[in-house]
Structure 1
Amino acid sequence: MTRLIILIGLPASGKSTLARKIVSRYPQCQLISTDAIRAQLFGDETIQGLWLKVWQEVQQQFHQAVNQTSLAIYDATNTQRRGRREVIDQARETGFSQIIGLWVDKSLQLCLERNKQRQRQVPEEVIMKMSRQLIDVPPSCAEGFDEVKRITE
């Protein structure tokens, strides 16, 4: 059985920090990060690049994870329901047997404040748009998750 944790949350909500904590606790865990993929493909994680190239690498890493480990984490914002469903469908097709949504639900204000302190800042209007997407359509098991956990602390 191979489990996939799909992180969900605004930029600067703490998703990547949480992912690193999980990986340090479970060394066999494979971290699949769109930021790391962008750095690998385009030389810098801030370069958005062609999404199709990023997505192809995500799919390849999904296949590797299913064949090599029992736990993987997909670290991306995943704020749009349509995008989450695409990830879930691909994960099921690849062979993940359990898919858990882990929603790092921090306040918009906190994320905006943290974002200002980052070297790599996301435009505020982008974060605000993502926040509206999560408020309008929060993650749920109806999307195909086996379980959705919400972290607010």
Structure 2
Amino acid sequence: MQQQPNSSLIVLIGLPGSGKSTWAAQFGMNCPEGRPGYRTVSTDQIRADLYGDAAIQGSWGQVWARVIDQLRQGAADIHRGDLTGVVYDATNVRRRDRRRFIQTVHALGYPTVAAVWFDFPLSCCLERNRARSRQVPEAVILKMHRQLVATQPSLSEGFEQIWRMGPARLP
């Protein structure tokens, strides 16, 4: 990635173990001094808050309601100048879900939506997942991988920009 994303909403896309949450935490800490930062809306954190453990999937309706509440609050804070933007930290592997999400956030008042796509090899994500204390079942990651390979992120979904993160590629 040659420059930092500059959008009111940044959608993270990638498999579990691809580095989305780590990137979000680092990105949030790298705002220039005197400039309002970015807030992260994380479905894992919402699950931990609701159910006491991020691994408990729980009711998607409850999780989604919290996502919308946090996004609505983020839009209000951006409008007041208290925040530069919001990072949405979830896997976002299905194109139809990403399109619906973009429509929803535009209605909430986010004028621009960018994506950061964590395009790391499946083997790397599986290895990182095995090293975690909270592991996602491999069958779930394999299904997500198939979905993401079939519907790679594109500007036609409504993103202003897409940054592709991945291992260094040799010429």
For the aligned pair, the TM-score class normalised by the smaller chain equals over 0.9
Number of corresponding residues: 153
CA deviation vs aligned residue, 1:29-86 (integer Å, no higher than 9, x gap): 1110000000111111111000011001100111111111221100000001121112
The alignment partner of 2:87 has SS state of: strand
The residue aligned with 1:56 is 65
Which segment is superposed worse, 84-93 or 29-38?
Answer: 84-93
- Which residue number corresponds to residue 112 of structure 2? 98
Which structure 1 residue ranges, 4+ long, deviate > 3 Å from structure 2? none
- Distance in 2 between residues matched to 1:53 and 1:126, nearest whole Å: 21
Deviation at 1:146, TM superposition (A): 1.1
Task: Tell me the SS of whatever aligns to 1:149.
Answer: strand
Q: What TM-score does the superposition give when structure 1 sets the normalisation length?
A: 0.96
Distance in 2, Cα, partners of 1:118 & 1:86: 31
Matches within 5 A, 1:7-46: 7-26=12-31, 28-46=37-55
DSSP-derived class of the 1:96 partner: coil
Gaps of 5+ in 1: none
Q: Counterparts of 1:116 and 1:16 in 2: how far apart (Å)? A: 16
- AA aligned to 1:89 is Q
Distance 2:100 2:120 in 1: 24
User: One-letter code of the match for 2:17?
Assistant: A
Task: Compute the displacement of 1:28 (Å).
Answer: 2.1
Measure the CA separation in 1 of the matches of 2:51 and 2:97: 22
Once residues 100 and 26 of structure 2 are traced to their aligned partners in structure 1, the CA distance between those partners, rounded to angstroms, is 26
Amino acid at match of 1:77: T
Unaligned runs of 5+ in 2: 1-5, 78-82
Distance apart, 1:148 and its partner CA? 1.2
Correspondences of 1:128-139 after superposition (within 5 Å): 128-139=142-153
